[in-house]
Amino acid sequence: MTGLYDRLGRHIHYLRVAVTDRCNFRCQYCMPPEGVEWLEHTDILRYEELVRLIKAFAGLGVDKVRITGGEPLVRKGLLPFLRQVTRIPGIKEVGLTTNGSLLEEYALSLKQAGVGRINVSLDTLQRERFIRMTGQDRLDRVLAGIKKAHQAALTPVKINMVVMKGVNSDEIADMAAFALQNDYQVRFIEYMPFSTGQDYLFTAAEMKQQLVAAGFTKLVPQLGVSCPAKIYHVPESRGSIGFITPVSQHFCSSCNRIRLTPDGYLKPCLLSNEEYSLRERLRSGASDQQLLAQIKQVVWNKPQQQYFLKGQKGDRGMSRIGG
């Protein structure tokens, strides 16, 4: 059996790489309420260190990479780095997750660098609500960036909406209509509390009920796709609707991914406190074989399930993990 597998037989071939913890938004479910203390510059992995690690993962069979943050587009030198990543042998797909505020400027350059797909985090279509949720008056810029990404063929453009009960849970039908009218894919994501105690959970079942009540009665399941999102198509539209259910219907048994934090920790599970420093290994002169051995060991011991199922909370907020 070739490739990277854990002890439960899950095939791990998807690496999410956070290149920075910095962001120009202050989304309440991502940033800690008491304020942000950015990582020191020296703690962030350098681009050459990231390239070395991604090459190691590719050598073990990882073929899909997604670049995240923070907001990855705020880090200087990102485009040359992306060009290096897209040329690594074995890497078949490179995507990027962004808040969209800088996407109008960078969309075409991202496409030219070899990025295949864009995910945009957008939790509301209402300007005043957007300002409250992000701390910035940039909704128009985000919408322009999404349009530009579509024009640049970074398709399908995926819009990630974290649905929070009593905050934006009344906008599900509006966001679905927006996506379908513009041939985007909207993915409604259940709120994950991480280290906060606030319960904003609005389940996918409740989301579907709201969509049906709004007239979205012809949702056709997309078959044969292996990803956390359950995707539905609507007749007469090239857009689609998806649901990601980490809380109500977890997908631990089919998880195929692993994460690298901006400060160089390998997290085998987003919703687990287990993490292992690759930065220390890199900077202490570890050989490629030693790095490969540690990666394989971490993957082999990937947790069977996430900590929400055990009633636990996370030690890191989302901004320190990567989207």
Q: What is the mean pLDDT of the chain?
A: 91
d(CA 323, CA 312): 20
User: 7 has which bridge partners?
Assistant: none
pLDDT tens, position by position, 251-263: 788 899 999 999 9
Residue 319 has pLDDT above 70, yes or no: no
d(CA 94, CA 117): 7
Beta carbons of 13 and 61 less than 8 angstroms apart: yes
Domains of the chain: 14-320 (3.20.20.70)
pLDDT tens, position by position, 144-177: 999 999 999 999 999 999 999 999 999 999 999 9
Does the predicted TM-score (pTM) go above 0.95? no
**Beta strands per DSSP E along the chain:** 14-18, 64-68, 93-98, 117-121, 158-163, 185-190, 220-221, 230-233, 240-244, 257-260, 265-267, 276-277
